[in-house]
Amino acid sequence: MATTTSNIAFLRPLLRGLPIIAAAMVCAVLVAKKYLKYATPMYESTAKIRLADTHEGYTNSNLYKDFDVFVNTNKIDAEVELLKSKVLVSKAIKDMQMETVVYRVGGLHKTELYNQSPFIIHAAITNNDWYEQPFAFTVSRDSVVELTTPDGVKVSGLVNKPITIKGAEVLISNNDTLLQQKPNLQVNDHYAFIIYTPEQAVDKVIGSLDIMSVDKEVPVLRISYKSPVPQKSADIVNNLSEAYIEDYIHEKCKSADTSEQFLTSQLKTYSSKLSSSENAIEQYRDAHNIINIRQETETDLRKIADLKKQLASVRMNLNAINTLKGYMNSGQDHLDHFLELAPNFEEFTDLLSTELVKKIKELQRDKKDLLVKYTPQNEKVKVVDDKLADISSYLEESINNTQKSLQIKYDDLQKSIGESEQVFNGLAGREKNMTILERNFGLNEQIYRTLHEKRTEAEIAKAAAISFHRIISPGEVPEKPVSPNTVIIKVMAAILGMFGGIFFIYGVHGIKARVNNEDTINRLSGTPVNALIPYLKKESQSATFFRKWTLELELKQLIDKGTVITVTSFNKLEGKTFITEHLAQSLRLLDKKVLLINGDEVLKGELSNPSNWKKYIDLQKQEYDLLLIKNVPAALNAAAIVPMAAANRNFFVLDSRITKKNCVTEADLLQEQLQLPDMQFILNRAGYMPSLFKQVKNEIAGLFKRVRK
């Protein structure tokens, strides 16, 4: 609740000063309108250019997909800088006569005429200090010219005749084309013109250009130009766009022509190199009988592998025969135990060998059967031994013949493998040399093909004199200015006026530093506030309030019998008289015998002495229940402290519209120094914020009264 009251108190000066705020806002808007009336409007025209996509080419054709070695892939920023370059801007304004700017001069501002000037100015300036400086001239009687130089020198002359002055020669001629189109155009008037060097004219245009990409991912450039002349802004952006396209075509054709010449010369060089590479390969093949090294090598390796496989097979057979022969030799004297030797006949798997082995086994079994009946010297046993010996001899001879045949085959295979391996001697060198020759030939062929393709593309590019950039939105003549923004300026002026009025109100409020409310007193002092007396317009309101207040004083036992109450203020007109009189009336309604003492009348002479005053008060107490003293102003009369020191209650009156804040601290200091009994503040006209108009009215009325007196 206290916070809400504090906020309301803070806003009261603002509510009271609403007329001032409104007046400040109105004044600010009027000033803004006055400014807008004489401010030079600026018009903006915008053109948009879609950049070529180097990966797609014109209308998604692949004709130029690989041919654009002269442009960076990410070129949006580069194209922005190109459009801002002096070279391109100078081409764009070459035919616009931007080096001479003509104005029609009025009383408060001047207007650029651009192509609506009734005169064409030609000036040859030798004094460099006169560039970018205004020349003023006045035309009268349709032909008489009075020219004023930047140095203030005045020269008279005629239209269509040169005017020679020191530092320049000026020719002011009629714009016959415009005058024929507009015969009623005013000619006699005040004019001014400014001459720029070509560099200055270009810099002036660049300074007003705004070129940027629509989006980093979208290859579209936006060209904007601001000018006080709508037609001029549109002409510059359109001319710059066209100059950009023409420059692109010119540079593309120039680059294609240069590329074609270079590629033609390089093709001749690499054609001879390619022929030399072909001849070198042919000679090397003939010299070394080379058809295809890879295929020949693979064939020889395959042949050697087959021979080695055969050699391994023969070696295994030969080893088996040698083993078998060893078995046979070890079993020569033991034919009776031939079965125990168990020779390996793996290599003799033919039917004859098998039958021989079977026959030997049968004879051995027969011999065993005979030895059961006969002795080894028996004829039957000997016949069996002879048969075994014959078969064994035959088998041994067969093994020997087989061993010799395998050995011959083994030796022949080794010889063949050795002869085949002789082919690979020097193969690495031949293969290396052949690889070098083929690599040189491949490089020359690849370069030749690439150069040939590029020359064809360069010829196509040279023949196609078109631009892959497109003007997708030409600049239009603007109808409304972009600056100054009338709405924003008026709104901002109103806002600034409002804030200015608020600052003024609170500034004055702070400078006045009045005791406005109870919160102010509580912040400045620890002395309690006994009553907040509102602004009471009617007597009935006053009677009601003071009746209520006296009842509160009675309940708080602050007006017991014998109580002396002093009502004091620092200055006059703070409400002491009003308060003491109404308080006395309310106390009498409580059947109290009250004596109202006017300090201005009695606090003089001997009663200004504290002891005499005390005697006076004691004497009056015997007759009255309450003594109510309207004290003299404390700031004007030092005797004000006498009744305050002798009183039981000290009501110190503060007026919210008159009393300054420092009076609160002064009252506290006074109470502390003199130890005044039971001092309490009374805030008169609490919360009273009179209307500003009413206050002005009262001030004027008071002034008239003083004048009449």
For the stretch 572-591, pLDDT in tens is: 888 888 888 888 888 888 88
pLDDT of residue 139: 92
Instruction: Please name which of 248, 295, 326, 323 lies closest in space to residue 82, comparing C-alpha atoms.
Output: 248
More confident residue, 153 or 289: 153
Pairing of strands 626-630, 594-598: parallel
Task: Give the residue-averaged pLDDT of 296-325.
Answer: 76
pLDDT of residue 237: 93
- In this prediction, residue 50 has a pLDDT band, given cuts at 50, 70 and 90, of confident
Does 194 score more than 90 pLDDT? yes
Task: Give the residue-averaged pLDDT of 659-671.
Answer: 83
- In this prediction, residue 63 has a pLDDT band, given cuts at 50, 70 and 90, of very low
Does 669 score more than 80 pLDDT? yes
pLDDT of residue 696: 58
- Tokens of residue 96, six digits: 């616009």
Instruction: Choose the weakest-confidence range: 121-130, 347-356, 512-521, 665-674.
Output: 347-356
Task: Give the residue-averaged pLDDT of 309-338.
Answer: 68
Does 236 score more than 70 pLDDT? yes
Does 163 score more than 70 pLDDT? yes
pLDDT of residue 418: 76
- Tokens of residue 466, six digits: 């078109």
Indicate yes or no: pTM above 0.75.
Answer: no
For the stretch 483-503, pLDDT in tens is: 888 888 889 988 998 888 888
- Tokens of residue 387, six digits: 């048969």
- Percent of the chain at pLDDT > 70 equals 83
pLDDT of residue 371: 81
Phi, psi of 651 (to 5 degrees): -95, 115
Task: Give the residue-averaged pLDDT of 47-65.
Answer: 59
Question: Element (H or E) spanning 386, and its range?
Answer: helix 379-421
Does 110 score more than 70 pLDDT? yes
Task: Give the residue-averaged pLDDT of 242-246.
Answer: 89
pLDDT of residue 378: 82
Task: Give the residue-averaged pLDDT of 691-708.
Answer: 59
Does 365 score more than 90 pLDDT? no
Does 464 score more than 80 pLDDT? no
Query: How far is residue 103's CA from residue 113's CA, in Å, rounded to a whole number?
Result: 5
More confident residue, 337 or 374: 374
Task: Give the residue-averaged pLDDT of 215-224.
Answer: 84
Task: Give the residue-averaged pLDDT of 672-698.
Answer: 76
Does 130 score more than 70 pLDDT? yes
Query: Reading across the β-sheet that carries 649-655, which strands appear in turn?
Result: 529-533, 679-684, 649-655, 563-568, 626-630, 594-598
More confident residue, 193 or 571: 193
The mean pLDDT value of the chain amounts to: 80
Long-range contacts of 211-220 (CB under 8 A, 24+ apart): 211/80, 211/83, 211/84, 212/80, 213/76, 213/77, 213/80, 214/48, 216/76, 219/50, 219/51, 219/52, 219/53, 219/76, 220/48, 220/49, 220/50, 220/51, 220/472
pLDDT of residue 296: 67
Query: How far is residue 290's CA from residue 19's CA, in Å, rounded to a whole number?
Result: 112
For the stretch 136-149, pLDDT in tens is: 999 998 889 999 99
CA angle, corner 662, sides to 658 and 667, nearest 5? 95
More confident residue, 339 or 318: 318
- In this prediction, residue 439 has a pLDDT band, given cuts at 50, 70 and 90, of confident
- Percent of the chain at pLDDT > 90 equals 14
pLDDT of residue 218: 80
pLDDT of residue 270: 81
Does 192 score more than 90 pLDDT? yes
For the stretch 449-460, pLDDT in tens is: 888 888 888 788
pLDDT of residue 463: 75
More confident residue, 292 or 135: 135
CA angle, corner 36, sides to 30 and 42, nearest 5? 165
Does 372 score more than 90 pLDDT? no
pLDDT of residue 344: 45
